[in-house]
Amino acid sequence: MVMDSEAAGAAIYKAEPAWRLVWNDLDSSAVATHYALEEAIGQTVAEKAAPATVRMWQGPQGISVAKKDIRTASGQRAAQMMKDVGWPVYVRQSGGTAVPHGPGTLNFSLFLPRPQEPQWSIEAIYRALGLPIQMMLADCFGLPSTFEAVPGSFCDGNFNVVIYGKKVAGTAQVWKGGPAGMSSGRPGYILAHATLLTHLDREAAVSALNAFYQLATNTRPVEVETVGTVQQFTNLEAEELDQKVQAGLLAALEELTGVEKIEAPSEEEWRIARSLEAHCHPGFYVK
């Protein structure tokens, strides 16, 4: 049941006339293509070739960064050195700081056509993004969660998903272009995405994030005690936990959107993503 405090997020799901749920596993495509799908799906939603979309996906071990982190020579060197030790760096379209990806994480993205008139606040978008995660945590595990900042955590902000003071999901968003639709000069979309830590090796992930920033900015900003995983609040093994998390998210999304069917990205979205792979590599942003 959606509570009154979640009304702002739930209203966004009700406002869109149609929804699509997308899931894709890693396949033989280049890893960068899966990152580029974020931009590709955004484009099809902006052009109204696809409805508002929720995407869930998992990637291999790596670090997701904003463009600002790799625009410097030291950031470029850091990205190369992290790749050499098994933590390749991929560039996302939103802001914030570095986020760990890989086994024990689940990426969750929300795509909306940018409306003609101001309709939603940044806060409302974050609440819509986090709502299915909060519903899943409560319904599947009986875990209360809040939105709040956790100083010392990775990619900190006011809309981390937090369980008992530990950050279990980081969030970011970006608004691109103008009003959606082909009649617009530059069709736009809203992308908000979260990375949920299910059973990630926290120590290894935080060590990798700090190693990147030590090389890029001579800082070590992430404190391991600020970071949590869903597993540490349950007694489930990784495989069972993943199945329960995924089923719980799908149940929450069905309640919010009315959609039961899960789809793969369209062939056109894969085509666009392959054309945008370069945007996900740090070397694309060398000055």
**DSSP secondary structure, the chain, as one string:** ---GGGHHHHHHHHHSS-EEEEEE---SS-HHHHHHHHHHHHHHHHTTSS-EEEEEE---SEEEE-GGGGSSHHHHHHHHHHHHTT--EEE-SS-SS-EEESTTEEEEEEEEEPPSS----HHHHHHHHHHHHHHHHHHHH----EEE--TTSTT--TTEEEETTEEEEEEEEEEESBSSSTTSSSB-EEEEEEEEESS--HHHHHHHHHHHHHHHHS-----GGGB--SGGGS---HHHHHHHHHHHHHHHHHHHH----EEPPPHHHHHHHHHTGGGGSGGGG--
**Catalytic-role residue among 22, 155, 196, 241:** 155
Q: Assess whether 155 carries a catalytic annotation.
A: yes
| Catalytic residue set | 155
